Structure 1
Amino acid sequence: MGNTLTFTVDQQIATLTLDDAATRNALGLQMRDELGAAIRSIKQDKSIRAVVLTGAGGHFCSGGDLRNIASAGLDNQGWHERLHSLHHWLQDLITLDRPVIAAVDGAAFGAGFGLALAADYVIGTPRTRMCVSFLRVGLVPDCGVFYTLPRIVGPQRAKELMLSAREVGAEEALRLGLLAEVQPPEQLQARAQAIAASFVNAAPMAVALIKRAVAAGGDLSTQLELEASAQSLAMGTQTHRDAVQDFLARRPAAFQWPA
Structure 2
Amino acid sequence: MSEPRSVLLDIKDGVAELTLNQPERRNALDPAMRAQLADTIVAVRRDRNVRVVILTGSQGHFCAGGDLRALASAGLDNEGWLQRFQDMNDWVRDLISLDRPVVAAVDGMATGAGLSLALTADFVLATPRARFSASFLRVGLVPDCGCLYTLPRVVGVQRAKELMLSAREFGADEAQLLGIVTEIAVADALLARARAIARSFVQASPAAVSMIKRNLAPQGGELAALLDAEAQAQAMAMSTPGHRLAVNRLLEKQAPPYNWPAGT
Shorter-chain TM-score bucket reads: 0.7 to 0.9
Cα distance between partner residues in 2 of 1:189 and 1:75: 41
Question: How far apart are the structure 2 equivalents of 1:127 and 1:9?
Answer: 28
Question: What RMSD in Å do the two structures reach over aligned CA positions?
Answer: 1.0
Dislocated runs of 4+, deviation >3 Å: none
Corresponding residue for residue 75 of structure 2: 73
SS of the residue 2:217 aligns to: helix
Residue 213 of structure 2 corresponds to residue 211 of structure 1:
yes
In structure 2, the residue matched to 1:24 is 26
Match of 1:199 among 194, 198, 201: 201
Q: Report the Cα distance in structure 1 between the residues aligned to 2:104 and 2:31, rounded to whole angstroms.
A: 21
Residue 133 of structure 1, aligned match among 121, 131, 135: 135
What is aligned with 2:172? Answer: 170
- The letter for the 2-side match of 1:170 is A
Q: Secondary structure at the match of 1:16?
A: strand
Query: Which SS does the other structure have where 1:35 is aligned?
Result: helix
For residue 82 of structure 1, report the CA deviation from its aligned partner.
0.2
TM-fit CA distance, 1:216:
2.8
1:5 shift after superposition: 1.2
Indicate the SS of the match to 1:143: coil
Aligned partners of 2:217 and 2:42: how far apart in 1?
20
- Shift, 1:2, TM fit: 2.6
Instruction: Give the gaps of 5 or more residues in structure 1.
Output: 219-259
Query: Counterpart in 2 of 1:154?
Result: 156
Give unpaired runs (5+ residues) of structure 2.
Answer: 221-264
C-alpha separation between the residues in 2 aligned to 1:50 and 1:42?
9
Map of 1:55 onto structure 2 = 57
Instruction: Tell me the distance in 1 between the aligned counterparts of 2:4 and 2:186.
Output: 30
Per-residue displacement from partner, 1:38-73 (whole Å, max 9, x unpaired)?
Answer: 111111110110000000110000000110110111
Matched, 1:14 2:13: no
Q: TM-score, normalised by structure 2?
A: 0.81
Ranked by relative contact order (alpha carbons within 8 Å, sequence separation 6 or more), the top structure is 2
Match of 1:46 in 2: 48
Of the two, which has the highest radius of gyration? 1
Q: TM-score if structure 1 supplies the norm length?
A: 0.83
Instruction: Tell me, in whole angstroms, the C-alpha distance in 2 between the residues paired with 1:202 and 1:216.
Output: 23
Deviations 1:100-140 (A, max 9, x none): 00000010000010000001110101011000000000000
The alignment-based identity, stated in percent, is 56
- Give the whole-Å Cα distance in 1 for the aligned partners of 2:112 and 2:47: 30
CA distance in 1, matches of 2:10, 2:52: 12
Aligned to 1:97, the other structure's residue is in SS state: coil
Aligned residue number for residue 188 of structure 1: 190
